[in-house]
Amino acid sequence: MRKKVTKAIFPVAGMGTRFLPATKSVPKEIMTLVDRPLVQYAIDEARAAGIKEFIFVTSRGKGALEDYFDHAPQLEQELRKKGKLELLKTLEDTNMDSGAIAYIRQHKALGLGHAVWCARRLIGNEPFAVMLPDDVIAADKPCLKQMIEAYEETGGSMVAAMEVEPARASSYGILDTSEEQGDLVKVKGMVEKPAADKAPSNLAVIGRYILAPTVLKNLNKLKSGSGGEIQLTDAIAQEIEQERDVYGFRFRGQRFDCGSKAGFLQATVAFGLAREELRDDLSAYLQSIAQVDRAAQ
């Protein structure tokens, strides 16, 4: 019987330099998208997919991230006393049960593959998910849940994939595919950040993975690759070389790159418009801006 995916790794050790000076004192992962930090969207998606154990790979200066998931008894008591039960429920949804969350330090910035490798002892010999909080995905059914449902049929390893413009291939890991199976594609190779004219396809890997534990053994043997870092895509590519199944999954939903300022702003607008209590005011404001812009032209 295939083991269920109940553990997820969240690599959050990055310094967030693209958001300086905000990230001088605030971890990028708790920067607010509408009224929730980025990492909360990833946690909610993981919970909806059945994840029970949450492993954060952190670095120095991430104390505020750890505090975010802790209980706030004084604040909860104040909300209860004032009868603000809806806010209390919202707050309680951010709490994590004792033992459900673990923090591992990545002492050197050696890449995504190294960050995942740092959590190897907590994973053991089980399949696991990797979620990058920078990638926020708006979907009717959470992206990771879509993937786990597909994984339960296929096994192996699986990466979330989306089509990108050829000129942007050098910003992603790109899949070399063989057969198509509906939302799934069989992967025969992976290239990390290829030049546009060397990309084997326009199908890019984005920040959701379901990985076999053998990927961790591959990471044990890897030396630095593209950009002088230990690349997770290289370890997944070794699965293919070892004749283990790797799939790309075309998820249904819209992905926002919240690791960039433009992507963060786009996500703010999209998630704001999706909120009933914000939609009318925000929509009216955007229309007024558009009218001013047209008049200026």
Q: Which of 15-19, 74-78, 205-209 tops mean pLDDT?
A: 205-209
28-35, Cβ contacts within 8 angstroms, sequence gap of 24 or more = 28/134, 28/259, 29/62, 29/65, 29/133, 30/64, 30/65, 30/68, 31/264, 33/136, 33/258, 33/264, 33/267, 33/268, 33/271, 34/268, 34/271, 34/272, 34/275, 34/278
For position 109, what pLDDT does the model report?
A: 78
* Cα–Cα distances in angstroms (integers) from residue 53 to residues 14, 59, 81, 175, 251, in the given order: 21, 19, 32, 29, 23
CATH T-level assignment (fold) for domain 7-259: Spore Coat Polysaccharide Biosynthesis Protein SpsA; Chain A (3.90.550)
- The structure tokens 């994840």 sit at 51
Q: Is the per-residue pLDDT at 44 higher than 90?
A: yes
Q: What is the percent of the chain where pLDDT is above 70?
A: 95
Q: CATH 3.90.550.10 in the chain, residues? A: 7-259
* Cα–Cα distances in angstroms (integers) from residue 284 to residues 104, 141, 147, 268, 280, in the given order: 45, 29, 37, 15, 6
Q: Is the per-residue pLDDT at 52 higher than 70?
A: yes
